[in-house]
Structure 1
Amino acid sequence: MSYLRFDRTVMLNLEESLPREVLRTNKSGAYHCTTIVDCNTRKYHGLLVVPIPELGDDNHVLLSSLDETVIQHGAEFNLALHEYNGGHFSPNGHKYIREFDCEKIPATIYRVGGVILKKEKIFVRHEQRILIRYTLLDAHSKTTIRFKPFLAFRKVTTCTHENDAINKHYDEVKCGIKTSLYPGYPELYMQLSKQGNFIFTPDWYRNFEFRKERERGHDYSEDLYVPGYFETPMAKGECVVFSAGLSETEPTNLKQLFDQEIAARTPRDSFEHCLKNSAQQFYNKQGNRSYIVAGYPWYNKQRARDLFVSLPGLTLTTDHRDWFEKVMDTAQDKVSAFMTTQGGDEGQLKDLGDSDVLLWIIWALQEYAKATSLLDCKNKYGSFIFDIIKYIKSHKHPNLFLHANGLLYTNGKNKPVTWMNAVVEGKPVTPRSGYVVEINALWYNALRFVESIYEMDSTSVVPPALKELITAVEHSFASTFLNKYGYLYDYVDGSHVDWSVRPNMILAVGLDYSPLDKKQMKSVLDIVTKELLTPKGLRSLSPKSMGYNPIYIGSIRDRGYAYHQGTAWPWLMGFYTQAYLKLHKRSGVSFIERQLIGFESEMSNNCIGSLSELYDGNPPFKGRGAISFAMNTAEILRVLKILSNYYLE
């Protein structure tokens, strides 16, 4: 039985099927995303969504959907499903679905009387092209298939409406047409693998609704343009491939191309394989530069913190050292330029100036050293690591200041400087400022890692200044952050201390080097376990703390106030796992294994085969935000890797 298969009962029940989404990407910034019943519920959904750099940073929906109609004996059976104004669904094609399978690629089987039709979708790697293969598994009489494309040609952040500016012109190409609706947009080539008829019947279809956008308080209604439709006869056992892309292709090669792309896919037949498959969807190659996309369907920009937190889990745990090095080498150029210009232009790597980002880089390189060797890391990235430490110690960072007590101070009152970065009306919801707990935990860990690089060479000597700084941080950390209740303040700014019980303190235990002693570590871990641990990760705030707001719903403002005020985040489980096993050793393995059950259940929910950005902090811990999030996928993969190392002992 397939790991990701949904039967007719699920597909017929729209309350069950519409919340489940499918995402496929091509590692070049383009993607396909919709629900398992092919009904778009977000303005970000589409069959072909691509970046168009000439029009800005946003992705653009070109081909929104493709309606299929089975025609027999003059009777038409439309297999599509759309939601219109007032929650009206038409043409209700989901009633013909017998099953949906997404183990290797999305595959839907329809049954209309004696006709059984299989539809499979695949995104071509490193090319802006989606292929849809239709196979007529059974038919008792002459059958014709009609394909009707719904075009948007808009940014993913907007909705299109009927207008007179549209260009309805099209040109014929081999077995299809090409068209571009507005100036600045590329031609969209729509072709079949066999010769069919294209009937030009231009028209607007009005008042589509996106229920997810309505829930989020955004514009949720649009009109779509249909230039006409393709028709082709099909015989029993025959397959036809539909191609939509930004360049013309040879129709006779489409079937072979489809088979080649399937052969290159990793089956999603287990929890681990789902995560590994999902990990690859965040890779992004632009020319000779490589990045990590933070999440889908939004977050298409390269956010520095997300990139470095995600990088080890997305690459090293999946045995893709080459991808780690490509991404890190791209980032190294950007970071070095940033440090040289004293916090100047960040280029394509956004938010490099945030106070914790450089420390996350060193953590990522520390993980690289563990996956390869300390010598390999030193030879390839040693100078880069030393440059970062020197940059921070020299007080050149625009918002990171080394104090005499060895701790790092940052100003986060007016602008968020850590991963807790929600802003409402221009102000941080969580204004973490002063000595921030995870920044200083990362700082101590970074200093000790640099010390280990020196110590690996018997001919080198650890600089006395480094030893003194490490000692200063050891003495200052616990006295600054540890309170009488046995947990760590989230931040300390002068005489002000933040008593909120937040998960950031777990880094002080879970990182390889901790400034706490064993008793202190256990006290922190126990409180995190008691107040923050959920089946979907660690809560961003304890239910006992003031301001607890665990349900991420409502308007943009409402969601901003809930974003880090009690919602659960899976990515923190990487550090929680390290902390737990550091203290409990092998006896803690079964406990961590049980924690993973909550994440495996998510493989068939929300974005199937992946993990959402965040989850409600209270039962039933519903997934929210971006449907597929790099940091979460990466760190749960790293948990699996950590556990596998214990199995090998």
Structure 2
Amino acid sequence: MSYLRFDKTLMTNLEESLQREILRTNKAGAYHCTTIVDCNTRKYHGLLVIPVPNLDDENHVLLSSLDETVIQHGAEFNLGLHKYQGNNFSPNGHKYIREFDCEHIPATTYRVGGVVLRKEKIFVHHENRILIRYTLLDAHSATTLRFRPFLAFRSVREYTHENPQASREYQLVENGIKTCMYPGYPELYMQLNKKCEFHFTPDWYRGIEYPKEQERGYDFNEDLYVPGYFEVDIKKGESIVFSAGTSEVTPRRLKQTFEAEVADRTPRDSFYHCLKNSAHQFHNQQEDEHYILAGYPWFKCRARDMFIALPGLTLALDEIDQFEDVMKTAEKAIRNFINEEPVGYKIYEMEHPDVLLWAVWAMQQYAKETSREQCRQKYGELLKDIMEFIRQRRHENLFLHDNGLLFANGTDRAITWMNSTVNGHPVIPRTGYIVEFNALWYNALRFIADLVREGGDVYLADELDAQAEVTGKSFVEVFRNEYGYLLDYVDGNMMDWSVRPNMIFTVAFDYSPLDRAQKKQVLDIVTKELLTPKGIRSLSPKSGGYNPNYVGPQIQRDYAYHQGTAWPWLMGFYLEAYLRIYKMSGLSFVERQLISYDDEMTSHCVGSIPELFDGNPPFKGRGAVSFAMNVAEILRVLKLLSKYY
């Protein structure tokens, strides 16, 4: 029995199948994303979605979809599916689906009368190319396949509509055509591995709708251009490969390329392998630069997300070399930032006050997975330079006060991971002494002190330890309240008493200013008020402003974003904290908490974990369909568990 298989009953029920999405990437920024019935429901969906750097820093949908038609005895059976106005779906090709299997690569089996056709899709790594293999498993008479490509040539943030500027020009290439709708875009090459006929019948398909965009309060319809169609005969047992990419291929090599790409994939035959496969999809390698994307389908590389996700996406998979490769790019960006040089790297939000502290935390995880000696040799100078940058108060929004705590101004713009804004102002203006900033700071001081002491720099180690003593004492005085939990932020006389998850880091980190009893009090209140099966709530239901449902138009969602929604990545730190307190006796509890993520593998984005969940039952998944920090932290917990056995 396949781990990721969906039967005819689910596939033909659009209420179920349209809620499940698939994602394939090329590890270089391009992707294919749609629903499991190949009906696009978002403007971000498409068969071939790629970066076009000479236009902008967004992804662009070149090939939106490909409708297949099976032809026998003059009868035509269209396997495509699009949504049009008035909840009309056409041509309803999903009714022919017998099963969908996603264990190795997305594979859909159709049955049309006596014809059984399997369609398999794969995105070529490090190349802007998707390959689709069609295998005729059974047929009792001559069969022809027709392929009708739907072209968009637009940014994922926009829509296209019928217009006279769109070029209808095309040129024949071997076993296919190349075309480009607008200047500035690359040519799109569509080719088959077998001789075929292309029929030029240009037309616009008008009024295609994307219900997920409608749900989110955005415009939701567009027109797509179809230049014509390809026709090719296929025999029983034969496979035909369709290629769509930004460069020409040699058709006779397509089958071989397809097989080689399949062999290179991690089979998604278990929870762990699904997460491993998902982890690899966040990598974005551009020549000598290596980034981690924050999520799909709309996130770019964000500095904080990258450093939080990096250990789980690499070290937890024993991919030390991948960690080091990403850190090569990250170190250059960090040095550019602390030297006040232009950041020539596509890492966004580097200026946020806690980013450097999360970078220290990431390198700390590297030290634990390799050795302190190796970490010191590789990153010792960088760690010292980061520490000096902060201690010398050179950061424009991170001020080291005499009490040893770090102060940051977040009244006018969002500076923490709780970053939602409405009308340019933060929904949650976390400002002043922010609890996780100072937990990170204390942890960084102690970690780097120990690291440099072992390397012989006793003077610096003593300095950092002395600073940590001051910081730790102030931390307890400023943040800990009489109820035993930690204030979320303190700015002068203003204290945020809301029960939020940011205090859990103080329990999870290797170095903490809290004693064991104090840690347990924090853990207990997080367990009691914030724990859900899908993540840790961003706000307690008992706190004012609790808003657990991330639904509706943009403003409504922005107000709810961190006001009660549950975040899986926080579960990683919560479970790490739990193991710190309960050790071996906490293992069964931690394992039980992970079960609900196993369930997620066949929901939302198949084989991955979405950005966030509603904070109340039924804890519905929301936001980006695949989120790096979530996948990373669950992988890191699995790695932590493995060390107990």
Shorter-chain TM range is over 0.9
Give CA-to-partner distance per residue, 1:154-210, whole Å, 9 cap, x none. 000111000000110100000000000111111000000000100110011100000
Matches within 5 A, 1:460-539: 460-539=458-537
Counterpart residue identity of residue 329, structure 1: K
Deviations 1:522-544 (A, max 9, x none): 00000000000000110000000
2:199 partner SS: strand
Mapped pair 1:72 → 2:72:
yes
Query: How far apart are the structure 2 equivalents of 1:490 and 1:122?
Result: 45
Provide, for residues 284-326 of structure 1, a one-character-per-residue CA deviation record: whole Å limited to 9, x for no partner.
0111110001100000x21100110000000111121111111
> C-alpha distance in 2, partners of 1:236/1:584?
60
Q: What are the within-5 Å matches in structure 2 for residues 230-309 of structure 1?
A: 230-299=230-299, 301-309=300-308
Listed one character per residue, the Cα deviations across residues 425-480 of structure 1 (whole Å, up to 9, x for unaligned) are: 11000100000000000000000001111232467455432222111012111111
Aligned partner of 1:14 in structure 2 is 14
Give the structure 2 partner of residue 440 of structure 1.
438
Structure 1 position 345, deviation (Å): 4.4
Q: Which residue of 1 aligns with 2:103?
A: 103
Aligned match of 2:335 = 336
1:182 corresponds to which residue? 182
1:83 aligns with 2:92: no
2:562 is matched with 564
Distance 2:142 2:167 in 1: 36
Displacement after TM superposition at 1:341 (Å): 1.1
Q: How does 1:415-430 map to 2 (within 5 A)?
A: 415-430=413-428
Aligned length: 645
CA distance in 2, matches of 1:579, 1:433: 25
Match of residue 310 from structure 1: 309
In structure 2, distance between residues paired with 1:382 and 1:347: 22
Structure 2: distance between partners of 1:241 and 1:216: 36
Equivalent residue letter for 2:277: N
Instruction: Give how far 1:496 is off.
Output: 1.0
- Paired with 1:29 and 1:400, the residues of 2 have a C-alpha distance of 32
Per-residue deviation, 1:566: 0.2
CA gap of 1:513–1:221, structure 2 versus 1, over 3 A, is: same
Looking at structure 2, the residues matched to 363 and 463 of structure 1 have their Cα atoms a distance apart, in angstroms, of 18
Aligned to 2:638: 640
- Secondary structure of 2:195's counterpart equals coil
Aligned-partner SS, 2:579 = helix
CA shift for structure 1 position 347? 4.1
Quote the residue 1:35 is aligned against: 35
Q: Distance in 1 between matches of 2:175 and 2:465?
A: 71
Distance 2:578 2:457 in 1: 36
**Residue type at the aligned position of 1:365:** M
Q: Deviations over 1:80-130 (max 9, x none)?
A: 111001110001000000000000100000000000000000000100000
Whole-Å separation in 2 of the counterparts to 1:298 and 1:246: 21
Asked whether the equivalents of residues 100 and 108 of structure 2 are also in contact (C-alpha less than 8 Å), the reply is yes
Amino acid at match of 1:158: E
| Residue correspondence of structure 1 range 451-462 to structure 2 within 5 A | 451-457=449-455, 460-462=458-460
CA shift at 1:500, angstroms? 0.4
Partner of 2:547: 549
- Mean alpha-carbon deviation: is it higher for 558-567 or for 452-461? 452-461
Displacement, 1:573?
Answer: 1.4
2:116 corresponding residue in structure 1: 116
Q: Tell me the distance in 2 between the aligned counterparts of 1:463 and 1:118.
A: 63
d(CA) in 1 for partners of 2:604 and 2:361? 31
Going from structure 1 to structure 2, the CA distance change for 1:107 and 1:527 (only over 3 Å counts) comes to same
State the distance in 1 between where 2:131 and 2:328 align.
33
Partner residue in 2 for 1:155: 155
CA contact (8 A) 1:454 1:461 kept: no
- Counterpart position of 1:324: 323
Give yes or no for contact 2:449–2:462 (8 Å, CA) kept in 1: no
Instruction: Tell me the equivalent position of 1:608.
Output: 606
- Cα distance 1:408–1:138, how it changes in 2: closer, same or farther (>3 A)? same
Q: Is contact 1:346–1:352 with CA below 8 Å preserved after alignment?
A: no
* Match 1:366 to one of 339, 364, 367: 364
Compared with structure 1, are the counterparts of its residues 248 and 459 closer, same or farther at alpha carbon in structure 2 (3 Å cutoff)? closer
**1-structure distance, mates of 2:628, 2:460:** 36
Distance in 1 between the 2:269 and 2:472 partners? 46
Looking at structure 1, the residues matched to 370 and 459 of structure 2 have their Cα atoms a distance apart, in angstroms, of 24
Fraction of identical pairs, as percent: 65
Q: Deviations over 1:27-80 (max 9, x none)?
A: 111100000000000010000000000110110000000000000010000011
Distance 1:67 1:43 in 2: 18
The Cα of 1:570 is off from its aligned counterpart by 0.4
**Separation in 2, partners of 1:471, 1:187:** 61
| Amino acid aligned to 2:542 | K
Q: Which amino acid aligns with 1:83?
A: K
Letter in 2 for 1:152: A
Measured after TM superposition, the shift of residue 150 of structure 1 is 0.4
Gaps of 5+ in 1: none
Structure 2 SS opposite 1:111: strand
CA RMSD across the alignment: 0.9
Structure 2: gaps of 5 or more residues: none
Report Cα offsets for 1:113-150 as digits up to 9, x if no partner.
00000000000010000000000000000110100000
TM-score relative to the length of structure 1: 0.98
Equivalent AA in structure 1 for residue 95 of structure 2 = K
Give the SS at the match of 1:350: coil
Q: Does 1:595 align with 2:593?
A: yes
CA distance in 1, matches of 2:349, 2:597: 29
Q: How far did residue 346 of structure 1 move?
A: 6.7
* 8 Å Cα contact 1:171/1:177 also seen in 2: yes
- Local SS of the residue matching 2:219: coil
> How far apart are the structure 1 equivalents of 2:6 and 2:358?
40
Say if 2:131 and 2:244, in contact at 8 Å, map to a contact too: yes
- Kept in 2: contact 1:158–1:219 (CA 8 A): no
Alignment match, 1:352: 350
